[in-house]
Structure 1
Amino acid sequence: FFGKRAKYPRFKSRKKSRRSAEYTTSGFRFRAGRLTLAKMADPLAIVWSRPLPEGATPSTVTVSQDAAGRWFVSMLCDDTVTLAPPTTSAVGIDAGITSLVTLSTGEKIANPRHERRDRARLAKAQRELSRKARGDGANRARARRKVARVHARIADRRRDFLHKLTTRLVRENQTVVIEDLSVRNMVKNHTLARAVSDAAWSDLRSMLEYKSAWYGRELVVVDRFFPSSKLCGACGTIRAKLPLNVREWTCECGAVHDRDVNAAKNILAAGLAVSVWGAGVRPQRESSRTGQPAVKQKTPRREP
């Protein structure tokens, strides 16, 4: 605002945004798995998502409420993640919309399309909210919470699916190779923006980054200009054009390729070349959770 790059900041209402309170060691008591906050006579009734690490003592407790009206308690404590047993397998991952990810093994994992499945319910809740008069009325507040609950349902299911998928990929493979996608530019395409946002490729990559660091795996990121789909995995010929509606193509050498499987195999081959030989490596953006960068391949552009 003061740099003349934004408008006057808007007031953030505590009723609509996420509310939270943080308690230090003097503000709570945690005994026998029961949490009691300051000025409370009885412990909180909590449904635990998972037990605390054995022997761990929380140092900070944060209580928060989201827009849907749900309450959460998070505890900060010291813990060490156990490294996964080493393995020799590696996998290349090609992200897509019809298939969320296609693996170099030929396996295709379908896109659950969580937003599309609840789109009618969300549209109905938003229509009801639009008919309520603006202000602090109870009717509008109830309609707003209904919309927030639909959004929370979509986000929770998407996050749960991505966590299970990324944990499986990291545990089963020593090296995971992905492509550096420019999601910010992709969502500018109004035809695909909704589907790209629902796929949550950025969340997928973020989870792979910090879980690879946790379990002692290697994550290799191939440059976005690498022609993974147009490159023939058999002879190395690069096809001049390959429209998105072409899902299977035949190379001049006679090899028949599934577009996504071929791309995943090429991504794996390029990633292994980076991992083994170290050619074309440059630092990649650090993960906010681990602070450790993954390896990224820099492929020189072809001269016209």
Structure 2
Amino acid sequence: MKKKAFKTEIRPSDEQKIKIHQVIGVSRFLYNRYIAYNQEHYERYLEGKETFGFVSGMDFDKYVNNELSKQEGFEWIKGVSSKARKQAIMNGEGAFKQLFKGKAKFPKFKKKRKQDVKAYFPKNNKGDWTIERHRIKIPTIGWVRLKEFGYIPEGEKASSGTISQKAGRYYVSVLIEVDENKKKKRKPKEGIGIDLGLKTFAVFSNGQTYKNINKTKEVRRLEKKLKREQRSLSRKQEVYKHLKTKGGEPATNEYKRKNVQKNVLRVQKLYQRLANIRKEYVRSVVDRCVKTKPTYITIEDLNVRGMMKNRHLSKAIAGQNFYAFSSWLKAKCVENDIELRRVDRFYPSSKLCSSCGAKKKDLKLKDRVYTCECGNTMDRDKNAALNLLKAKEYAILT
């Protein structure tokens, strides 16, 4: 048995939304409080006055239960499940562990506008997290209707789950035990080499080409609309700040504040809409690749962080979701028993001739057609995909 995460949109009632916001608010507060609590501790650690760089999540949880929640003005913390509070603190501890492993910088505070906090709901009773075709039973909240019927396997076991909010929508994520023995046997077939790029999103060695979704009419229309809404929001915020500074009338301030909130929601919805379009396109490309049932798939190790330093191309690179593509491809390869290979980032897939193996050192980025002295002439990306397919040195990811 293997655990697999399922995330889908839910439609909670107004009363359920209040409870969800309460858990999210307390979780955000405790996470930020834990980060602030450890700031001075970390500074003393750098000065050599402390043995450890941060206070453990368990110790801070005891402080919250025994001291902070009993102080005047903080009684509302107890209105949320102790397990949900502890999970928020342990998430902060995980961020500090990443810091001391050298994998991340000092943890940042969670902001309400970014909506990046998840509400944790543990299983308290036997009937919690019961899954049906059209609804799911969430602890302390009750039955909540699912927007997508049948996506989460009905009748399976789920020990816990989280609820998140994004641009006025609510999502539930649960871990389900999936039987790996249900995999279908497949006939061995040839592998696939995949070359990722900016002009076209992906070119497969078998000839399939997938366009750049960011160049489509719909995405450009949404980006133009987002730009107008951001400009409008910026102007409203400046006017609101000016009113607060000058001590404007309360009624006027309240009116301006509500208009700012409405504009913020419009911006969030546009961001979410664009993110959904891009992610769904990447998923569709991965699904089409896996459905061909290859023996292996070869990709290149792209230095996305280094590529993002180019300020002329950073926006275009971020919109391609290369990291999401490799992550979903890896998960699908594990699920379908496909070997995923990754060649070194310095492998000259674009400069090698896929026919004779000669290396063209003077190949420039503007050269979209690869021409070799042996007579081989083909699209640059198709040639790179064929070279990835034939690569002899690689690391196996799955």
Smaller-chain TM-score bracket: 0.7 to 0.9
Distance in 2 (CA, whole Å) between partners of 1:90 and 1:187 is 30
The answer to whether the 8 A contact 1:84-1:171 is kept is no
CA spacing shift, 1:140–1:257, aligned 2, 3 Å: same
Aligned to 1:63: 163
1:48 aligns with 2:148: yes
1:98 aligns with 2:98: no
Alignment counterpart, residue 347 of structure 2, candidates 226, 230, 240: 226
Point out the structure with the larger helix share. 2
Query: Which deviations, in whole Å up to 9, do the C-alpha atoms of 1:68-100 show, x marking residues without a partner?
Result: 121112233212354353231211011111211
1:191 aligns with 2:292: no
Distance in 1 (CA, whole Å) between partners of 2:183 and 2:106 is 48
Alignment counterpart, residue 152 of structure 1, candidates 241, 259, 272: 272
CA spacing shift, 1:132–1:72, aligned 2, 3 Å: same
CA spacing shift, 1:213–1:190, aligned 2, 3 Å: same
Alignment counterpart, residue 140 of structure 1, candidates 260, 272, 279: 260
CA spacing shift, 1:8–1:244, aligned 2, 3 Å: closer
CA spacing shift, 1:145–1:246, aligned 2, 3 Å: same
Alignment counterpart, residue 124 of structure 1, candidates 193, 218, 228: 228
1:111 aligns with 2:231: no
Q: Structure 1: which amino acid aligns with 2:124? A: S
SS in 1 for 2:153: coil
Query: Which deviations, in whole Å up to 9, do the C-alpha atoms of 1:247-293 show, x marking residues without a partner?
Result: 113211222132111111011000xx3xxxxxx455x7xxxxxxxx4
CA spacing shift, 1:63–1:247, aligned 2, 3 Å: same
Q: 1:118: Cα distance to partner? A: 2.0
Distance in 2 (CA, whole Å) between partners of 1:197 and 1:65 is 23
Percent identical residues: 32
Aligned to 1:287: none
Q: Structure 2: which amino acid aligns with 1:127? A: R
The answer to whether the 8 A contact 2:123-2:139 is kept is no
Larger-Rg structure: 2
Q: Structure 2: which amino acid aligns with 1:126? A: Q
TM-score w.r.t. structure 2 length?
A: 0.62
The answer to whether the 8 A contact 2:132-2:155 is kept is no
Aligned to 2:4: none
Distance in 2 (CA, whole Å) between partners of 1:16 and 1:266 is 42
SS in 1 for 2:364: coil
The answer to whether the 8 A contact 1:53-1:79 is kept is no
1:88 aligns with 2:189: yes
Q: Structure 2: which amino acid aligns with 1:83? A: K
Aligned to 2:121: 23
Distance in 1 (CA, whole Å) between partners of 2:162 and 2:105 is 32
Q: 1:229: Cα distance to partner? A: 1.1
Q: 1:19: Cα distance to partner? A: 4.2
RMSD: 2.8
SS in 2 for 1:94: strand
SS in 2 for 1:77: strand
SS in 1 for 2:146: coil
1:12 aligns with 2:110: yes
Alignment counterpart, residue 268 of structure 1, candidates 373, 382, 389: 389
Aligned to 1:276: none
Distance in 1 (CA, whole Å) between partners of 2:300 and 2:360 is 19
The answer to whether the 8 A contact 1:177-1:268 is kept is yes
Q: 1:31: Cα distance to partner? A: 6.7
Q: 1:36: Cα distance to partner? A: 4.1
